[in-house]
């Protein structure tokens, strides 16, 4: 396999984008990424998306987007892995270019959720859970995560308010991200006052729905013309791992085995350990997922994720900065696009482009994207050289 790097990135704002079609959203991110890479076309487009068939009545996203961005004859296809569709698309693009099968590719994540009523999207999201044993019992994704969080509070003795710093950090960082859904800071009182959605998950523990798209151009390192002072962003690790689709089938419902294994495979490829990661864009779809991700990826002991948040270690100047551009909680979670937002944000950090929320001296970053309630997870490590 040859070494590959991210040459260009692009993203749209996450919001209710009723005035734009799915292809306009994806096109905006793809063209921005191509422009950033100083390229006009690539060999292939990998599209990460979860629900365009039902939410937008549009399938066949490969041809649909390739034509729109002026790459009518390029190879293109859609990849679906629920909320980790974006990182799944990126991983497939990386494999294609690293193997030598292609000389360049774009991975783009796109999702347009807000054209349909909320209850329809909630039902659509639930198709990523087990239809027979979870959804049939009336569970939604918020409800599944509420059960996990309730058990976590019981097992480890944390109070619900101990999770507030995850949301406060995400909202504080999103203030400075022009592409984020929310720009209002949150304080402890605001967290405590938030309406309950599914006890113990309140509105501030949950990521919002939204429309958005993010993209990255991947090329072999050997083809990059190095410019002095411009960091090369290498893909140092790329791995995926599945787990049971239903939470009750896991030996330990409070441990994200897919997150542990995908992170460790990526660490091994990169020749590093968790102690070397400067910035970690994790999958904080719910604040409980942020805690479980920190633990599974090796930053905290089992049951101790909230400690890092309470001690301020997840802030941009802390030991392991997370959600540095707002995370899923405040940048937003357009599901099939989210994995690509995380990757774009890690690249921004390693390029030193994050202004007020820049992690000082960031050289190595990880993005980890979770599909379902921990059932399909992709981890990517990037190194700035």
- Active-site amino acid positions: 83, 333
Contact status: 142 vs ligand COA (CB under 6 A): yes
Helix (H) / strand (E) containing 65: helix 61-68
Shortest approach of ligand COA to residue 78 CB, angstroms?
A: 19
At a CB cut-off of 8 Å and minimum separation 6, what does 28 contact?
10, 12, 20, 213
Instruction: Please name the residues in contact with 187: beta carbons below 8 A apart, sequence gap of 6 or more.
Output: 168
Contact status: 245 vs ligand COA (CB under 6 A): no
In whole angstroms, the minimum distance from the beta carbon of 300 to ligand COA comes to 21
Kindly tell me which of 43 and 130 has the beta carbon lying closer to ligand COA: 130
Please pick, from the candidates 46, 141, 166, 299, the single residue that binds ligand COA as defined by CB under 6 A. Answer: 141
Q: Which is nearer to ligand COA, 29 or 204 (CB)?
A: 204
Counting DSSP H helices and E strands in the chain, the numbers are 12, 11
* Residue 314 sits in the site that holds ligand COA (CB under 6 A): no
Distance from C-alpha of 351 to C-alpha of 227, rounded to nearest angstrom: 13
Q: Across the strands, what pairs with 274? A: none
Query: Could you tell me the smallest distance in angstroms from the CB atom of residue 141 to ligand COA?
Result: 4
Among residues 277, 258, 278, 257, the alpha carbon closest in space to that of 267 is found at 277
Phi, psi (rounded to 5 degrees) for 316: -55, -30
Longest C-alpha distance within the chain, in Å?
58
Considering only the stretches 57-65, 200-208, 224-232, 246-254, report the one whose residues sit in contact with ligand COA under the rule CB under 6 A.
200-208
Of residues 142 and 254, the one with the C-beta less far from ligand COA: 142
Of the candidate spans 24-32, 130-138, 199-207, 304-312, the one that interacts with ligand COA by CB under 6 A turns out to be 199-207
Q: How far is the CB of 135 from ligand COA (least distance, A)?
A: 13
- Residue 175 in the binding site for ligand COA (CB under 6 A): no
In angstroms, rounded to a whole number, what is the distance separating the alpha carbons of residues 10 and 121?
26
Q: Residue 44: beta bridge partners?
A: 75, 105
> Could you say which of 74, 135, 172, 209 contacts ligand COA (CB under 6 A)?
209
Q: Which of 107, 125, 217, 384 binds ligand COA (CB under 6 A)?
A: 125
Sign of CA dihedral 103, 62, 131, 56: positive
Q: Which of 45, 33, 48 is nearest to 88 (CA)?
A: 48
Nearer to ligand COA, 66 or 214 (CB): 214
- List strand residue ranges (DSSP E) for the chain, in order: 4-11, 44-48, 75-79, 105-112, 196-198, 201-202, 211-220, 233-242, 279-281, 364-371, 376-384
Query: Which residue among 34, 88, 239, 285 contacts ligand COA (CB under 6 A)?
Result: 285
Kindly tell me which of 210 and 306 has the beta carbon lying closer to ligand COA: 210
Token pair belonging to 45: 């487009």
What token pair was written down for 352? 């030193």
Q: Which of 35, 92, 34, 51 is nearest to 235 (CA)?
A: 92
CB count in 10 Å sphere of residue 226: 10
- Does residue 202 touch ligand COA according to CB under 6 A? no
122 belongs to the binding site for ligand COA (CB under 6 A): yes
Residue 63: strand, helix, or coil: helix
* Binding status of residue 112 toward ligand COA by CB under 6 A: no
Is 203 among the residues that bind ligand COA (CB under 6 A)?
A: yes
In the complex, the smallest distance separating the C-beta of residue 125 from ligand COA, rounded to whole angstroms, is: 5
* Least distance between ligand COA and beta carbon 122 (Å): 6
Residue 333 makes contact with ligand COA by CB under 6 A: yes
Nearer to ligand COA, 47 or 335 (CB): 335
The answer to whether the bond into 210 is cis (omega within 30° of 0) is: no
- Piece of the chain touching ligand COA by CB under 6 A; list 66-74, 98-106, 204-212, 346-354: 204-212
347 within 8 A of 9, measured Cβ to Cβ: yes
Q: Which is nearer to ligand COA, 70 or 185 (CB)?
A: 185
Residues in contact with ligand COA by the rule CB under 6 A: 83, 118, 122, 125, 141-142, 197, 203-204, 206-209, 285, 333, 335
């Amino acid at each position: 396999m040859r070494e590959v790097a991210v040459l260009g990135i692009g993203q749209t704002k996450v919001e209710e984008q009723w005035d734009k079609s799915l292809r306009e959203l994806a096109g905006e991110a793809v063209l921005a990424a191509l422009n950033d890479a100083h390229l006009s076309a690539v060999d292939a487009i990998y599209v990460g998306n979860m629900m365009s068939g039902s939410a937008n009545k549009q399938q066949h996203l490969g041809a649909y987007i390739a034509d729109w961005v002026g790459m009518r004859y390029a190879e293109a296809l859609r990849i679906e892995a629920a909320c980790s569709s974006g990182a799944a698309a990126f991983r497939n693009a990386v494999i294609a270019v690293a193997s030598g099968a292609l000389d360049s590719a774009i991975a783009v994540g796109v999702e347009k959720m807000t054209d349909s009523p909320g209850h329809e999207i909630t039902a659509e999201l639930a198709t990523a859970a087990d239809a027979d044993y979870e959804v049939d019992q009336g569970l939604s994704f918020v409800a599944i995560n509420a059960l996990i969080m309730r058990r976590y509070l019981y097992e480890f003795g944390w109070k619900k308010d101990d999770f507030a710093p995850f949301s406060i950090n995400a909202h504080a960082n999103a203030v400075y991200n022009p592409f984020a859904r929310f720009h209002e800071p949150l304080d402890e009182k605001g967290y405590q006052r938030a309406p309950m959605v599914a006890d113990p998950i309140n509105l501030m523990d949950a990521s919002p729905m939204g429309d958005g798209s993010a993209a990255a151009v991947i090329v072999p390192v050997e083809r990059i013309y190095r410019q002095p002072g411009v960091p090369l962003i290498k893909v140092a690790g790329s791995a995926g791992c599945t787990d049971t689709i239903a939470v009750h089938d896991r030996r330990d419902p409070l441990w994200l085995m897919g997150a542990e294994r995908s992170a460790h495979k990526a660490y091994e490829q990169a020749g590093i350990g968790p102690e070397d990661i400067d910035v970690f864009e994790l999958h904080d779809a719910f604040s409980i997922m942020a805690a479980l991700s920190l633990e599974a990826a090796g930053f905290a002991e089992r049951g101790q994720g909230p400690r890092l948040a309470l001690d301020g270690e997840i802030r941009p100047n802390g030991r392991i900065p997370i959600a540095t551009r707002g995370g899923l909680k405040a940048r937003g979670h357009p599901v099939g696009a989210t994995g690509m937002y995380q990757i774009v944000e890690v690249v921004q950090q390693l390029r030193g482009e994050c202004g007020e929320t820049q992690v000082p001296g960031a050289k190595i970053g990880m993005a980890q994207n979770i599909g379902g309630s921990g059932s399909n997870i992709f981890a990517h490590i990037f190194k700035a050289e």
